[in-house]
Amino acid sequence: MGLSGSLAVLLDFILSIFTWLILIRVLISWVNPDPYNPIVQFLIQATEPVLGPFRRWIPTVAGLDLSPIAALLTVQLAQRLIVGLLRGGMGGGALLGFFGELLAFAHLLLTLYMLLLFVRAGFHFHAWYTFRKRRPMGLNLHHPLTRFVFQVTEPAVKPMRSRVPTVSGLDITPLVAIVLVLFALSLLQQLVTVLALSGMGGGGFSSSHQGNLPM
């Protein structure tokens, strides 16, 4: 193992430990820990240099602090890119691997967003069904998680609301948005397949990167 390989192993280990520190800090924040506990102070001091800037850049949504999620995704992306470059060198294979990791990251974000759209579509159907049955809606729109789903998905749903007709009074714009996201995911899958085939021809980018993009 050369110097770059050893450095890749070391950075991979350090970034993995840092990921766990962020996760543990998020988990203990749910139980109101003692701020004077040495372990709690260590977690805060170790993770705040990364979480602090994200907290300033990313506003809370429905009272939820999204900075740890953004930090985790960024650390994971940095880990895969840096370690991949160190292990693959700086040649064409590493460049293909870089683009492959970016596509995998974009695919992950779109998949998560699609799941939120599914949840919102379920809310729409529930409200429509209970209205048709003349029953109480039973959906608390002031709940932080419900508000979060609506606020995050509204930028995708709102532009289509004036163009997509309702079906028997049911707002189907979340379903249309899901179809569009699925189309984007299909394009990403095709792109990563092209990169994998190019890497196989050049001995660089491995077809295993296709596993990063679930169908």
pTM of the model: 0.60
One-letter amino acid identity for 55?
Answer: R
How does pLDDT run along the chain (215 residues), one tens digit per residue? 567 677 878 888 888 899 899 888 888 877 777 778 888 889 889 998 888 888 888 777 656 677 888 888 788 778 777 777 776 654 455 566 667 767 777 888 889 889 999 999 999 898 888 888 877 766 677 777 788 788 888 888 999 988 899 888 899 999 999 999 999 999 988 887 777 676 554 444 444 444 445 44
Q: Which residues of 77-86 are buried (b: 16+ CB within 10 A; e: fewer)?
A: eebbbbbbbb
Report residue 5 as tokens: 């390989």
At a CB cut-off of 8 Å and minimum separation 6, what does 30 contact? none
DSSP string covering 154-173 = HHHHHHHHTTSPPBTTB--H
Nearest to residue 164, comparing CAs of 152, 172, 156? 172
Could you tell me if 212 and 100 are in contact, meaning their C-beta atoms sit under 8 angstroms apart?
A: yes
Question: In the structure, how many helices (H) and strands (E) does the chain have?
Answer: 6, 0
